[in-house]
Structure 1
Amino acid sequence: MKLTVNLGKDSYPIYIENNILSQAGNYIRKMYHGKRIMIISDDNVFPLYGDTLIRTLDSDYECHHLVLPHGEATKDFQTLPTVYKAMLEAKISRSDLVIALGGGVIGDLAGFAASSYLRGVRLVQIPTSLLAQVDSSVGGKVAVDLPEGKNLVGAFYQPSLVLIDPLVLNTLKERFINDGMGEVIKYGCIKDADLFSTLESHSSFEDLKEELPAIITRCVDIKRMVVENDQFDTGERMLLNFGHTLAHTIEQHFHYQRESHGEAVAIGMYQITRIAEEKGLTPKGTADRIQQVLKTYGLPLECGLTLGTLTEAIALDKKNLNGNLNVILLHEIGDSYIKATDIQFFAETARLV
């Protein structure tokens, strides 16, 4: 399956196909005619797939690689000098290529390094987690974290190519399949009631697995359309942040050591929908449907913190502009909207979420 993100000079193809990783060189040779490639990966992914990728490339290119520790803690501003040093030592120039081989952490970190090194080096995303395949590898948002919050240093930098191989998900641990399902459920909530109903009609991820390539394709296609309409996140693209206002603050509160991103998004979607129902902004019963589908795919509903504990971090969130906060709510499942509000939306300081 081929999809194309149409952004004028920044347009790029996305290929979704079983076993595409072993054929990656064929796709890369069509779009890149330089000399050197820097592969950035982590210590979980590279031992599994690094050799496969290099074998498809090394007859035509001088391949270098950097393997970083896995986990959100790596996506830190302080990691960037390590990445830049490796690129300098490999003599990567502006005419060369960076490949991000990994999940969302590697995709974001390598993407930001590519965007900023020598003012921009071409980038290929090869996502190996469900979350990265359905969401973070597409759309050009790249970033690193600061101690004060998630993704606070970043850029919009589109890849030249995205290669998605659903079969690599077979090596993921159950927790990180569940993690990715948080973002899949998000797409059903904000844009596709039929997708949400499909998720509701299955009893587990294993039950859903046969339909996974089609589900990944549907999520990517939704993101493609949204990004084409709003590349720089000033309007419709904000809908992709459903659940994220709470999610990012939960992740940051626990120093990225407890809830994964998809788990935090799950909590955020459910809890913000509960609040919206109480305020008459979302129909009653919506949160219950979200609750049931989150349980089906092994995702949490709460983190045990009060809203008051999280409000300081919410105030620093990128979506909080000049004291105005845009939160994403649901008219109903499959139909989302942007609600302009402020920090008082979360003013019930004693409420547990």
Structure 2
Amino acid sequence: MKTITVELGARTYPIHIEAGLLGRAGEFIAPLAKGRRIAIVTDANLATHLATLQASLSAAGLESEAIVLAPGEGSKSWATLEMLCDRLLELGIERGDNVVALGGGVIGDLVGFACAILKRGCQFVQIPTSLLAQVDSSVGGKTAINTRAGKNLIGAFHQPAMVLIDPKVLDTLPIRELRAGYAEVVKYGLIDDLAFFEWCEANGAALLAGDLGLREYAIAHSVSAKARIVAADEHETNGTRALLNLGHTFGHALEAETGFSQALIHGEGVAAGCSLAFGFSAAQGLCSDEDAQRVAAHWRDAGLPDGLAAAGVDASGARLVDHMRHDKKMAAGTLPFLLARGIGGTYLDKTVDLTDVAAFLDAQAR
């Protein structure tokens, strides 16, 4: 087993990574549960994993109650949040209890936010079942729901008590979801780790094809990188954690344009967004065209969109920039961008003119 620690003082917590860990989850949750019944929140697509988890909890002497939600981004809503909070209160959840989030990023985000506000804060355990959630959203404590104004605009920082990652559960993940999660893996190389990006170029195809050893390595490497960044800047106040948003400003605009729907799922938006961030950086003379083309080529090799057309987006630069104006990172009319001086050379730029961004996007559409 690989264990990585997120160092946050009194709120420090472990991330355990091991193939088959879901079947042993009860051993790790029992010391936190203190004999109390466990509430599990999951979605309707994860019945097999839910059965495995409940059997594990039962073997550890714990009773459990499952709350099964509809799958998909639509569950990150006010209505579902209200229903979930009401149901957890009906179950008698106390501040010292741990709710288990069994699912991908949608479940993790929703459950984390519910636990952040329920009785002014109760605890939760993340058991991510998608690659994207395993390498990104389950770690770091960002929780949120979506609104008509945009994605993840209502939320809170609320760290989990523990994260349990079982790479074997990815065997049941649809290939599209696996590729979307892989975009977040590659992102760590693009941020500040050229050697890891090169590792992805050499091993990405085999990882996506099912090599368990490569998946475990990629997950552990990604989680270690995120844990280090979160420990240095938990609430995104000094600019370090902002680096994790590489590709997201462009990507969220593409997701907004497609209605936050299955037309373009989050990891696909991140891949296309990273390509656009590198393309814009090259257009501004910050990095070479070769680097931008190399990033785009890797997305194509992985079956991910490398820009506007591949993402299925046909919109003016002005319209996409208008989506960006709703970004939660907007401050005093300025939107910071993650740009790159090369692969592994990402930095935060607060001087970008949105008019230049719109012109760049219009050029990409031609």
Match of 1:334 among 329, 332, 344: 344
Question: Residue deviations 1:6-41, cap 9 Å, x none?
Answer: 100110000000001000010112333151321110
3-state DSSP of counterpart to 1:329: strand
Q: Distance in 2 between matches of 1:334 and 1:73?
A: 34
Q: 1:206 corresponds to which residue?
A: 209
Cα distance in 2 for residues equivalent to 1:122 and 1:337: 34
CA shift at 1:53, angstroms?
A: 0.8
Q: Deviation at 1:102?
A: 0.2
Contact 1:306/1:352, CA 8 A, preserved across alignment: no
> Unaligned 5+ residue runs, structure 1?
none
Q: How far does the alpha carbon of each residue in 1:192-236 deviate from its partner, in whole angstroms, 9 at most, with x for none?
A: 111110111246222765411011100000000000000001210
Paired residue for 2:122?
121
Q: CA deviation at 1:328?
A: 0.7
Partners of 1:49 and 1:208 lie apart in 2 by 20
Kept after mapping to 2: 8 A contact 1:35/1:61? yes
Show CA shifts across 1:47-84 (max 9, x none). 12111111121353331111111111111222111101
Aligned to 1:219: 222
After superposition, give the CA deviation of every residue in 1:275-324 in whole Å (9 maximum; x if it has no partner). 11011122331111111110121101223333222111101101211111
- Taking structure 1 as the reference length, what is the TM-score of the superposition? 0.96
Q: Is the 8 A contact 1:294 1:300 kept in 2?
A: yes
Q: Is the 8 A contact 1:148 1:252 kept in 2?
A: no
Q: Which of 283, 286, 309 is residue 281 of structure 1 equivalent to?
A: 286
Aligned amino acid, residue 333 of structure 1 = I
Match of 2:234 in 1: 231
Aligned-partner SS, 2:164:
strand
Q: Check 1:61–1:203 CA distance in 2 against 1; reply closer, same or farther (3 A cut).
A: closer
Residue identity opposite 2:130 in structure 1: S
Normalization by structure 2: what TM-score?
0.93
Q: How many residues align?
A: 352
Task: Tell me what 1:240 maps to.
Answer: 244
2:266 aligns to what?
A: 261
Distance, in Å, in 1 between the alignment partners of 2:356 and 2:17 is 40
Q: Percent identity?
A: 40
Task: State the match for 2:19 in structure 1.
Answer: 18
Partner of 2:74: 73
* Higher mean displacement: 257-266 or 321-330: 321-330
For residue 53 of structure 2, what is the aligned residue in structure 1? 53
Partner residue of 2:301 out of 288, 296, 301: 296
Local SS of the residue matching 2:322 = helix
Q: Which residue of 2 aligns with 1:346?
A: 357
